[in-house]
Structure 1
Amino acid sequence: MPYLYHIRCSLLSGLLMASTLYALAQPRGNRGQAEAPPVPAVENKAAAAPVSLPLSPDGYIVSNSQNIPPPVSTKHSLTIAGQVINYTATAGYLQLKNEDGKPKANIFFVAYTKDGVADKKKRPMTYAFNGGPGSSSVWLHMGIIGPKRVLMSDKGDVLPPPYTYVDNAYSWLDKTDMVFLDPVTTGYSRAVTGENDKQFHGYEEDLQSMAEAIRLYSTKYERWNSPKFLAGESYGTTRAAGLSEYLQSKYKFYLNGVVLISSILNMQTARFDIGNDLPYPLFLPTYTATAWYHKKLAADLQKDLKATLKEVEAFALGEYNTALMKGSELSAEEYNHIVDQLSRYTGLSKTYIRQTNLRIDIHKFDKELRRSDGLTVGRLDSRFTGRDYNDVGVTPEFDPSNDGTISGPYSAAINHYLRAELKFKNDLPYEILGGRVQPWNYNNVQNRYLNVAESLRQAMAVNPYLKVWVLCGYYDLATPYFAADYTFSTMGLRPEQKKNVNFTFYQAGHMLYVHKPSLIQVKKDADRMYDQVIKEISAAPEK
């Protein structure tokens, strides 16, 4: 991905910002230019009120300035399950400051709030973000939770450019208000001029800035008394788990629920380092699911995916795990048995299994499974296939479930939507998923793997009402479902805490919502979670 460009900012631009106002309101459906044609699929449900913002001489919103423009609010409507939801969309910045009031960074956000809500104490507020590190919130925003979603095939195949998006009939907006937050140096978020953005690029640094953004939004928009949820995807689940404890201890900000989509809390479960054998048994069931999808297993294993996975999970935790622990002490008979089973459960040849010394790396699996067909399989979603320059390489040239599928449609959608529909005029490149945050600072875990499961356990111990919902895709080779299951099984939850954890599984990948049947099921599962929390709140005595 290309790097973002810095906005030129001078003393002259600062003076002009204080004195120059440009109207942002445009006719419905245009692309922010007077001559652009309408796009019927993304037509506003209600006209936006004229809004003016201070700009630089080049026409930019100066997002790295100490003087930020006011938020932009527009009115819309959406139909969910036959119910018309009238709502307000608000796009703008939350400015992070030192205790002495000096600006540090501007966090871009988009919030959606249902109109006409009299009692916000029973109207949930969900704070959502993605992962990376280095990702904007576009995936959850325009893939699953928000009022618009990128249009793809039911499987999740990309449609021809220039792409489009539609009303999201499976949005969570009927159950919860929501705000999507972009961490510093993602989306439109930036450190202010004179501040080094690296101070925000690390596990602890990120927690501090995102927690402050959540606190700030809750304060400015008076949502402290609302039921509060976090929703994160991928590294966003790492962030959410850390925030659940940090928000409690720092601000006494207690949550009702944490939603972990494609969860990874313990980095050791996904790091294929020499000497770390933990990932191999935890990835095995997803290798099996992938081979099942591509019809590479024996006939008896192809009959029922869930039954097959149950068998493989038992083998992974039992014989396979023991074999890896034995290492070179494994007998020839035991070694041959493990080779046979791994070949049976992965669809890979016994010769290849021996070459790996019983240790199948994810990236090499992606190249090897369908090598004879001249295809690779995806990492984010192993249902998808790609074709490399040749079939000789060890690992794929690209991820067909990312570069070849979702990046283009989501980038086009968010760049058009923010300007044309939400009336937020900004010529700054919207950083979808870039490398400007690297290297990410893990100084808090020198010489060990980051494991935030303990932070989540502490939050659940202090707050007995905290619900945790874990969503897993069977074809996710980035954050495998069995690794998430292992993490929760070994984090020391007490029986009463385990009752507050709910796992749901889908026949999809990392971005499980690109698979429409899974998107529909997720909506049903989300409704149950929010309804359960509201029921619990309603049953509590008022005095």
Structure 2
Amino acid sequence: MHTIFKAGIAALTMIALHTPPVYGDSHNPTEKNDSDIESHSASAIAAPREFVTEHSGTFNGAKLRYRARAGETYLRDEEGKPSAAIFSFDYVAISDGKDRPVTFVWNGGPGSASLWLHMGTFGPKRVVVPSGAGHAGAPPFPLVASSETILDVTDLVFIDPVGTGYSRALGEHDGKEFWGLKEDAESISAFIRRWLSDNQRWNSPKFLLGESYGTTRAALVADILENEHSVALNGIVFISQALDYAGSTPYVADNLISHITYVPTMAATAYYHQRVDARGASLEEWVQQARDFAVDELLPALFKGNTLDADTRARVRDELARLTGLSPEYVEQANLRVRGTRFAKELLRDEGKIVGSLDARYLGDPVDDLTARADFDAASNAISGAYTAALMSYMQSDLAVVWERPYLSPADPRLSDEWNWNPKGRDAAWEPHWVNTSHNLVSAMEANPGLRVLVASGYYDLVTPFFDAEYTLNRYGITPDRVDYKYYGGGHMMYVNEEARLSLLSDVRAFLKAQLR
């Protein structure tokens, strides 16, 4: 789903081809071309397929007529032949001028289609799941108007990368040509440039919004757009930031950084499940105690290794236990290095429960209580079925998408194994290191002094911890006034919590408006 795999580069020079849209209304949708297109199809490739409908709605109190286009955009290789079809869901205001802002939205993985952000909060309709971390149950799942979304201030384009959703490689091209750190970013930047041309929107304010690996992608795409193609951006929204993977890889034993970045999230989780004596502190105050301890005491202690004196070790051990709700004995056995993946299983082990990784508010009941780490993610299990069913139903009922092609969510099963994490190219020599696109973000921000970033994080995210976002973006020379941090009472997809969803939308809307001023 949103698993944070780790990535690398290569890249064709790609130019997108897209047939200008033909429009219909929601009762008489226009569909282009009935031919299906798959990888390694015949040399005669049919025109891009699209489904266009018109709608109206009220968003943040503003009435809006908008056109929805669900369809393909073709990328082309150096010989001008179609190399891939990227499918997107475009929501564009009707008769609102060519300078209206447009926000390009994607999820992560790599290998995730855009359905989470699309159906969770930013699309014009959304699926309703229990806000209090309960299981969504069985269908039917409520599908309601998302009247709080940001369509009042920006058009929205939800992008499914190659190998996800309906997006596929074409002709003689193979999916792995697009499955890599740089390859993926090149294809998405090519799509954006083609979309701007097809829709005559080059002078529109432009925003990127990514979640999880989608933030890794967003930093790279911003660098490519700003420095290789002179496409100026107005802002970037990072949801559940993952730029430098050192701080979000807790399952590597000798990764010192993740033992620090995960402490505040573990403390927040223990606070939520009432496994600590917070002594009257608020969640924010408790989390700040964990931040201070992690940097001022735990980091120096871990750095000293076996030269740490016994008294200091005991003090650090006991404080780590106090903040995280774990026993001093467990922390001692862990050698002061509590892995986030093991914490999910250990915190409530005495109750026979595990906490979710994507959202630690969720609880699971494993069959085997003795394993060191959870065998499944309780949060993913609780909501995945609802999101998938909602998107498929919404496509058929509202967007008039009728297509025999499978919608890949999860992605093409080859994608994970064939993903190229080498930043120098699939066949180049490379000494492996942590994936880190922070430098790409810095490069984009150097090229564009007006570019600012909003970072949205969930307190209970055990996949991309919020303290890692702070650690990452605070150390690259980016001035504090160019980065806004916002925190929510949820996890990786904080918007499943209704209060967090409303706050997230309000914060993103305010960020966009501020950048437009």
- Note the C-alpha offset of 1:153: 2.2
Report the AA paired with residue 413 of structure 1: A
1:338 maps to 316
- Note the C-alpha offset of 1:299: 4.4
CA contact (8 A) 1:136 1:186 kept: yes
Matched, 1:235 2:213: yes
CA contact (8 A) 2:422 2:432 kept: no
2:20 maps to none
- When structure 1 is superposed on structure 2, of 285-294 and 449-458 the one drifting more is 449-458
- Note the C-alpha offset of 1:53: 3.9
- Note the C-alpha offset of 1:523: 1.7
Tell me the distance in 1 between the aligned counterparts of 2:163 and 2:291: 40
**Alignment match of 1:518 (pick from 482, 500, 503):** 500
- Note the C-alpha offset of 1:294: 0.2
Report the AA paired with residue 108 of structure 1: F
Report the AA paired with residue 229 of structure 2: Y
CA contact (8 A) 1:63 1:188 kept: no
Matched, 1:447 2:432: yes
- When structure 1 is superposed on structure 2, of 410-419 and 228-237 the one drifting more is 410-419
Matched, 1:475 2:453: no
Matched, 1:414 2:391: yes
1:502 maps to 484
SS state of the match for residue 350, structure 2? helix
1:149 maps to 126
- Note the C-alpha offset of 1:274: 3.3
SS state of the match for residue 326, structure 1? helix
Tell me the distance in 1 between the aligned counterparts of 2:219 and 2:48: 32
CA separation of 1:52/1:237 partners in 2, compared to 1, >3 Å: closer, same or farther? Answer: closer
What value does the CA root-mean-square deviation take over the aligned residues?
1.7
Report the AA paired with residue 423 of structure 1: A
CA contact (8 A) 1:380 1:509 kept: yes
| 1:118-157 → structure 2 map (5 Å cutoff) | 118=97, 120-121=98-99, 123-157=100-134
Tell me the distance in 1 between the aligned counterparts of 2:444 and 2:137: 42
1:62 maps to 37
CA separation of 1:231/1:52 partners in 2, compared to 1, >3 Å: closer, same or farther? Answer: closer
| 1:1-400 → structure 2 map (5 Å cutoff) | 47-56=26-35, 61-64=36-39, 66-118=45-97, 120-121=98-99, 123-157=100-134, 158-272=136-250, 273-300=252-279, 303-400=281-378
Report the AA paired with residue 395 of structure 2: L
- When structure 1 is superposed on structure 2, of 387-396 and 158-167 the one drifting more is 158-167
Per-residue Cα deviation, 1:48-71 (whole angstroms, up to 9, x for no partner): 324344335xxxx33545223442
- Note the C-alpha offset of 1:100: 2.5
Per-residue Cα deviation, 1:339-377 (whole angstroms, up to 9, x for no partner): 101110111111111111111111111111001111000
- When structure 1 is superposed on structure 2, of 342-351 and 155-164 the one drifting more is 155-164
CA contact (8 A) 1:170 1:519 kept: no
CA contact (8 A) 1:48 1:73 kept: no
CA contact (8 A) 1:188 1:430 kept: yes
Tell me the distance in 2 between the aligned counterparts of 1:195 and 1:389: 44
What is the count of residue pairs matched by the alignment?
482
CA contact (8 A) 1:363 1:379 kept: yes
Per-residue Cα deviation, 1:82-106 (whole angstroms, up to 9, x for no partner): 3222111001101010132111110
1:42 maps to none
1:528 maps to 510
Per-residue Cα deviation, 1:157-211 (whole angstroms, up to 9, x for no partner): 3143232311101211011001011000001000013212111111011011111
- Note the C-alpha offset of 1:318: 0.8
Query: What TM-score, normalized to structure 2?
Result: 0.90
CA contact (8 A) 2:60 2:149 kept: no
Higher radius of gyration, 1 or 2: 1
Tell me the distance in 1 between the aligned counterparts of 2:406 and 2:244: 33
Query: What TM-score, normalized to structure 1?
Result: 0.86
Tell me the distance in 2 between the aligned counterparts of 1:101 and 1:425: 29
Report the AA paired with residue 447 of structure 2: V
SS state of the match for residue 263, structure 1? coil
CA separation of 1:298/1:236 partners in 2, compared to 1, >3 Å: closer, same or farther? Answer: same
SS state of the match for residue 471, structure 1? strand
- Note the C-alpha offset of 1:459: 0.8
Moved over 6 A (4+): none
- When structure 1 is superposed on structure 2, of 191-200 and 338-347 the one drifting more is 191-200
1:458 maps to 443
Per-residue Cα deviation, 1:482-521 (whole angstroms, up to 9, x for no partner): 000000111122x3xx312111111110001110001111
Report the AA paired with residue 83 of structure 2: K
Tell me the distance in 2 between the aligned counterparts of 1:53 and 1:147: 23
CA separation of 1:514/1:532 partners in 2, compared to 1, >3 Å: closer, same or farther? Answer: same
Tell me the distance in 2 between the aligned counterparts of 1:156 and 1:146: 22
Between the two structures, name the one with larger relative contact order (CA 8 Å, sep ≥ 6). 2
- Note the C-alpha offset of 1:303: 3.4
SS state of the match for residue 389, structure 1? coil
Q: Which runs of 5+ in 2 are unaligned?
A: 2-22, 424-429
Q: Which runs of 5+ in 1 are unaligned?
A: 2-23, 26-45, 536-543
Report the AA paired with residue 473 of structure 1: G
Tell me the distance in 2 between the aligned counterparts of 1:499 and 1:188: 39
Tell me the distance in 1 between the aligned counterparts of 2:345 and 2:230: 48
Report the AA paired with residue 369 of structure 1: L
Per-residue Cα deviation, 1:381-406 (whole angstroms, up to 9, x for no partner): 00000000131111112100002x12
Tell me the distance in 1 between the aligned counterparts of 2:114 and 2:38: 17
Tell me the distance in 1 between the aligned counterparts of 2:249 and 2:90: 35
1:18 maps to none
SS state of the match for residue 149, structure 1? strand
Tell me the distance in 1 between the aligned counterparts of 2:492 and 2:246: 18
Per-residue Cα deviation, 1:12-58 (whole angstroms, up to 9, x for no partner): xxxxxxxxxxxx99xxxxxxxxxxxxxxxxxxxx73324344335xx
Tell me the distance in 1 between the aligned counterparts of 2:286 and 2:49: 55
CA contact (8 A) 1:376 1:386 kept: yes
Tell me the distance in 2 between the aligned counterparts of 1:446 and 1:221: 42
Tell me the distance in 1 between the aligned counterparts of 2:305 and 2:359: 31
SS state of the match for residue 379, structure 2? coil
SS state of the match for residue 90, structure 1? strand
1:5 maps to none
SS state of the match for residue 136, structure 1? coil
CA contact (8 A) 1:471 1:503 kept: yes
